[in-house]
Amino acid sequence: FNRWLKERMELGDLHRLLRGDIAKKTDTGGLFEVEDEIVDTGRLARREVVPTGPLLGGRVRWASGIPGDRERALLVTTKVGEDQLRRNRLNGDRRRALIWPGALVVSRPESDQLVFEFSLPKGSYATTVLREFMKSSSTSSSLDDR
Are 20 and 92 in the same domain? yes
Are 35 and 72 in the same domain? yes
87-114 confidence digits (pLDDT tens): 777 788 999 999 999 999 999 999 899 9
Are 92 and 107 in the same domain? no
Domain count along the chain: 2
Strand partners, 84: none
Three-state secondary structure string covering the chain: CHHHHHHHHHCCCCCCCCCCCEEEECCCCCEEECCCHHHHHHHHHCCCEEEEEEECCCCCCCCCHHHHHHHHHHHHHHCCCHHHHHHCCCCCEEEECCCCCEEEEEECCCCCCCEEEEECCCCCCHHHHHHHHHHCHHHHHHHHCC
1-43 confidence digits (pLDDT tens): 999 999 999 999 999 999 999 999 999 999 999 999 999 999 9
Quote the pLDDT of residue 140.
47
Are 78 and 117 in the same domain? no
Range of the domain at 54: 2-96
Are 106 and 137 in the same domain? yes
Q: What is the pTM of this model?
A: 0.79
